């Protein structure tokens, strides 16, 4: 951006997303928040805020199932253990929740792999449109050293969320989508050739592709999704003695690094 463009934005903001006219009204994407959007449930409104349009109640209900299906109140799993640790050291709920959510966007689990899974299905769909076979596309991805996000699961061979999600997809009219069918074609291939299982990220991403979300929209939609499982973990740890969430004695730490040194040398 050159300096002339910066001058144009100095001291004022130009936006199309909305405005709070305090004491009068609040506008979001051209709609009055308190009088035209008041019928929406919170997640439905969140979708509208991100997309700039109403995707319909069935889409909102389907995304709600993503959140419900991954709301695990287990403090031993990510990112819940971070929220529990935050409660154990007596920080505030907001800081605890944000700390937990921040690690849910890792390179090998959570939000970023889910977005990469969505990108995978969009690229696979284009490949098939151009006459290629899905098996060839998968093998090419493997040959390039790329991870097939959505296939394989640490610590478990199956994913209990898949059946739940597929039942909901059928209920809300998304069970026959092109990308969802593709997800299972990929599974059949990677299971027979590489021994990979399927996890819910593949199902979620395929459904998201069928619903037409961009990768950025999808990441925004998913970002707060684990907070329902984190909140009870924070609260439970805070109700216990301070510092008692998985404490480790110094002598229990296994260390193979450099030994004690004299810093004066």
Give the domain extent around 173: 55-241
pLDDT for residue 154: 66
Q: Within a domain: residue 9?
A: yes
Neighbours of 18 (CB within 10 A): 14
pLDDT, tens only, 81-96: 999 999 999 999 999 9
- Return mean pLDDT, the chain: 92
Omega before 221 cis (within 30°)? no
Q: How many domains does the chain have?
A: 2
Q: Report the largest interatomic distance among the alpha carbons of the chain, rounded to a whole angstrom.
A: 72
Residues 105 and 183 in one domain: yes
Q: Does residue 154 fall inside a structural domain?
A: yes
Confidence of residue 58 (pLDDT cuts 50, 70, 90): very high
The answer to whether position 106 is within a domain reads: yes
Confirm whether 61 is domain-assigned.
yes
Per-residue pLDDT, averaged over 163-174, amounts to 97
Helix, strand or coil, per DSSP, at residue 18: strand
Looking at 80-212, list the stretches that DSSP marks H as alpha helix, in order from N- to C-terminal side: 80-88, 93-102, 111-129, 134-143, 161-171, 178-193, 200-211
CB 203 within 8 A of CB 241: no
User: pLDDT, tens digit, for every residue of 130-156?
Assistant: 999 999 999 999 999 999 999 987 666
In a domain, 119, yes or no: yes
In tens, the pLDDT along 228-238 reads: 999 999 999 99
Q: Look at the block and give the residue holding tokens 């989508």.
A: 177
CB atoms within 10 A of CB 43: 17
């Amino acid at each position: 951006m050159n300096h002339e463009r910066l001058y144009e934005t100095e001291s004022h903001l130009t936006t199309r997303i909305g405005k709070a006219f305090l004491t009068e009204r609040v506008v979001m994407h051209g709609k009055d928040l308190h009088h035209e959007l008041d019928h929406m449930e919170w997640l439905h409104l969140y979708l509208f805020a991100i997309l700039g349009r109403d995707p319909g109640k069935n889409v909102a209900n389907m995304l709600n199932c993503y959140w419900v299906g991954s709301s695990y109140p287990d403090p031993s799993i990510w990112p819940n253990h971070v929220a529990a640790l935050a409660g154990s050291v007596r920080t505030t709920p907001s800081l605890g929740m944000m700390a937990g959510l921040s690690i849910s966007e890792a390179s090998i689990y959570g939000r970023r792999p889910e977005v990469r899974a969505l990108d995978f299905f969009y690229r696979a769909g284009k490949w098939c449109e151009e006459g290629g076979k899905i098996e060839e596309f998968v093998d090419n991805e493997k040959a390039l050293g790329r991870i097939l996000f959505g296939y394989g699961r640490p610590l478990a061979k199956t994913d209990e969320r898949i059946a739940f999600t597929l039942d909901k997809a059928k209920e809300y009219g998304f069970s026959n989508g092109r990308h969802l069918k593709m997800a299972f074609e990929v599974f059949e291939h990677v299971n027979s050739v590489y021994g990979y299982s399927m996890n819910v990220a593949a199902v979620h991403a395929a459904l998201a592709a069928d619903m037409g979300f961009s990768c950025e929209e999808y990441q925004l939609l998913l970002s707060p999704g684990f907070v329902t499982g984190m909140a009870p973990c924070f609260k439970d740890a805070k109700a216990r003695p301070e510092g008692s969430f998985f404490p480790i004695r110094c002598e229990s730490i296994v260390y193979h690094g450099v030994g004690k040194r004299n810093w004066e040398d």
